């Protein structure tokens, strides 16, 4: 009976270990697929545990021992914050959570953009434990930079054309305009704040000497064409078209 109970208990322990291992492997696989990793920072001992997925994201060989504070700090980009300062603020109880974006050095030497979010597990405990998750946001970061560069090129091109240009959203709020539009209408930089309503902005414009609407060869779907005489005597032909999202783009050419 004793032997039967012993082997029964051993079998149950092995089954429990197997279930735990399988669950751990599934969690690790999900983290790897999601390009994210778990980490646990023991602030008192200055040690940090990384999940296997953290090592995979950065190209390092996983190890069972905890990483030292210095080992982690060594692969963080020096321009993206001071890990020592962050640790001191947590130890001094100034903050109990973090949400930061920074670069970490991959094993191949490249920099990987990471977003780390963590929370002190028990703010009342004498020994501070910070538990969190880190996500690889390199692709999103590069997309944002490319989008920013494309937006800058577009704005530069619009600013350098000879025509006045203004873009309104579907609710007729200002998105952007060039300095030529400001000059033609007597508007300052303070007037053309993105988001200002079209009616409010038009009230601040210089009054036109005259304005008439021209027939459009493409019918009502061809937009609106106007001839305006400005206060200084110049004539503009203004063409307005609807964008696919319901906004309005307006271009004014000097036809004096």
pLDDT, tens digit, 9 for 90 and up, residues 225-247: 888 888 888 888 888 888 888 88
Domains defined along the chain, listed by start = 34-141 (3.30.450.20), 161-254 (3.30.450)
Residue 195: predicted pLDDT: 92
Tokens matching residue 249: 């783009």
Tens of pLDDT, residue by residue over 128-144, are 888 888 889 988 888 88
Q: How far lies 46's CA from each of 41, 115, 131, 225, in Å?
A: 7, 21, 13, 70
The pLDDT of 106-135, averaged and rounded, is 86
Cα–Cα dist 236/229, whole Å: 6
Q: Is the pLDDT of residue 197 over 60?
A: yes
Helices (H), 100-170: 138-159
- In angstroms, the Cα distances linking 13 to 10, 178, 210, 246 are 5, 73, 91, 65
Distance from C-alpha of 109 to C-alpha of 103, rounded to nearest angstrom: 12
The residue length of the chain stands at 256
C-alpha–C-alpha distance, residues 50 and 67, integer Å: 8
Q: Which phi and psi angles does 101 have, rounded to 5°?
A: -115, 130
% residues pLDDT > 90 (the chain): 13
Q: What is the pLDDT of residue 35?
A: 72
Closest by CA to 100, choosing from 123, 122, 121, 77, is 77
What is the pTM (predicted TM-score) of this model? 0.59
pLDDT band at 5 (very low <50, low <70, confident <90, very high): low
Neighbouring C-beta atoms of residue 118, cutoff 10 Å: 21
User: What pLDDT does 20 receive?
Assistant: 45
Provide CB contacts within 8 A for 59, sequence distance 6+: 106, 107, 108
Look at residue 91 in the predicted model and tell me its pLDDT. Answer: 80
**Structure-token match 């670069």, residue found:** 103
pLDDT bucket at 10, cuts 50 / 70 / 90: low
Q: What are phi and psi of 18, to 5 degrees?
A: -65, -40
Percent of the chain with pLDDT over 70: 84
The mean pLDDT value of the chain amounts to 82
Three-class DSSP category at 73: helix
């Amino acid at each position: 009976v004793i032997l039967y109970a012993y082997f029964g208990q051993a079998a149950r322990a092995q089954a429990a270990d197997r279930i735990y291992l399988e669950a751990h492997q599934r969690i690790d696989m999900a983290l790897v697929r999601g390009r994210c990793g778990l980490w646990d920072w023991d602030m008192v001992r200055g040690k940090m545990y990384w999940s296997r997925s953290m090592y995979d994201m950065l190209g390092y060989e996983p190890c069972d021992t905890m990483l030292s504070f210095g080992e982690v700090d060594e692969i963080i980009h020096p321009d993206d914050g001071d890990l020592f300062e962050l640790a001191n603020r947590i130890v001094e109880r100034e903050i109990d959570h973090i949400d930061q974006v920074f670069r970490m050095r991959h094993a191949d030497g490249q920099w990987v953009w990471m977003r780390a979010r963590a929370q002190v597990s028990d703010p009342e405990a004498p020994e501070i434990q910070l538990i969190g998750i880190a996500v690889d946001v390199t692709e999103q970061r590069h997309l944002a930079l490319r989008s920013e560069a494309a937006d800058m090129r577009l704005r530069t091109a619009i600013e350098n054309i000879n025509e006045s240009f203004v873009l309104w959203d579907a609710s007729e709020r200002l998105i952007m305009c060039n300095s030529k539009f400001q000059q033609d209408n007597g508007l300052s930089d303070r007037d053309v704040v993105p988001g200002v309503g079209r009616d409010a902005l038009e009230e601040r414009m210089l009054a036109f000497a005259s304005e008439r609407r021209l027939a459009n060869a493409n019918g009502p779907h061809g937009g609106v064409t106007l001839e305006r005489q400005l206060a200084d005597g110049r004539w503009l032909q203004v063409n307005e078209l609807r964008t696919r999202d319901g906004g309005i783009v307006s271009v004014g050419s000097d036809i004096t």
